[in-house]
Amino acid sequence: MSYKKLLQEHSPKDLAESFVFPLKLSAKQQKTADLQLTEARQKAREKMTDAEKLTGRLMGLKFQMEGYFRAEKPNNEYSFGYFLKLYIELLDMKRRGFAEQIGIDETLLSQLVNQRRTPPEYMPIRLELHSNNSIPAEYWFRVSEKDREGAMLLNKAAMRKKEMKYVTGGISIHL
């Protein structure tokens, strides 16, 4: 927006007051400012209700999941089991109680969390229902598919060698 247009909409005094000047702080002033900010954030956190805290943690989990399934390459740090474990922890629940709430055996839950088994088809829906639609089934599904993509990329050479004996024809064009 041009300066002339700004002057038409605002007075020079308003413009001057709205301008933020960069401030150079000494090391001591920066430390004091950081302390004040930390204290203010702590006070704000103390005033938050349990529901507000849970909302913030759920949003954080959703953002992490989005980052994982939107990434070009799978990240070995994350998995369906990782996000499921994080979800259970942020709810501050025991695995046994959580397994009961979503209608699965505790053994299956353990296998999912520890990445010993891929999630059954119904799992994303149950997790969506459990989260009261806070984390959509599509997120859980996309995380699971990203895991499968990562496993395929990791074992692609071995898989190609194993499956080659089943392919007898093929096209002659290579893109």
pLDDT (average), residues 115-128: 96
pLDDT for residue 49 is more than 80: yes
Percent of the chain with pLDDT over 70: 97
Question: Cβ distance 133 to 62 under 8 Å?
Answer: no
CATH code: domain of residue 149: 1.10.260.40
Does residue 19 lie within any of the structural domains? no
Does residue 9 lie within any of the structural domains? no
pLDDT for residue 127 is more than 90: yes
Does residue 86 lie within any of the structural domains? yes
Does residue 67 lie within any of the structural domains? yes
**Domain membership of residue 69 as a residue range:** 59-157
Ranges 4-13, 67-76, 141-150, 163-172: which has the least confidence: 4-13
Contacts of 97 by beta carbon, 8 Å cutoff, 6+ apart: none
Average pLDDT score over the chain? 90
Question: Looking at residue 99, what is its pLDDT?
Answer: 97
Question: Looking at residue 117, what is its pLDDT?
Answer: 94
pLDDT (average), residues 110-128: 96
Does residue 18 lie within any of the structural domains? no
pLDDT for residue 22 is more than 70: no
Does residue 44 lie within any of the structural domains? no
Say which residue, 122 or 77, is predicted with more confidence: 122
What is the total count of domains within the chain?
1
Question: Looking at residue 21, what is its pLDDT?
Answer: 63
C-alpha closest to that of 112 among 83, 90, 142, 74: 83
